Amino acid sequence: MFVPNSFPAGTVREFIDYVKARPGKLIIASPGIGGGPHLAELLFMQMAGIQMTHAPYRGAAPAFTDLIPGRVHCYFGSGELLTYSRSGQVRVLASTGAKRSLAAPDVPTIAESGVPGYVVDSWQGVFAPAKTPSEIVQKISRDLAKALADTSLVEKLGRNAYTVGSSSPHELANILKTDTEKWEAVIKTTGIKID
């Protein structure tokens, strides 16, 4: 959760209070309607009980470019953007994950900063056609787990706030089901329409 350096709030709680005093007057940017950052922002606004004006951009770069000088007031982006807060171009108020990132252990989560229960973890998965034989799926799963255990890969991705791990096909199916239900509820309650 990034804000411009000029933004008066220094914590998530202060951010929420500031926005509540100005319903709909502040701008939250995203790289487009219905993408991960937009959904994470919608969930945050729902759970925090705030109203902001959404500014959908055509990609992350122009949205973040407008955040730096304060043309927009908030942007939810990946951990790779921490380089901009480390260089002093923007401020990071919190991370969206279930726990603090190893890449920025001093940055609190949104849940611990005033919005209990808020968790948005992004993930990557490898899928195969439905009729792929079980033994092939299991071999792919084992090979991926082995590759993802490589310490140099873990360290390299960790510097950009990515946590490396693997799951079984069954665990991945559960993650997919849980996330689908979560985001369907956000889409339904907010009424967003993807153009």
* CATH classification code of 2-122: 3.40.190.10
pLDDT digits (tens, 9 = 90+) for 15-25: 999 999 999 99
What band does 163 get if pLDDT is binned at 50, 70 and 90? confident
Tell which residue, 121, 109, 97, 160, has the closest CA to residue 36: 121
Assigned token pair, 38:
């937009």
Tell which residue, 66, 53, 48, 2, has the closest CA to residue 26: 53
Kindly tell me if the per-residue pLDDT of 157 is higher than 90: no
C-alpha R_g of the chain: 18
Average pLDDT of the chain to the nearest whole number: 93
In angstroms, rounded to a whole number, what is the distance separating the alpha carbons of residues 7 and 3? 6
In angstroms, rounded to a whole number, what is the distance separating the alpha carbons of residues 188 and 182? 10
Considering the entire predicted model, what is its pTM?
0.89
pLDDT of residue 195: 63
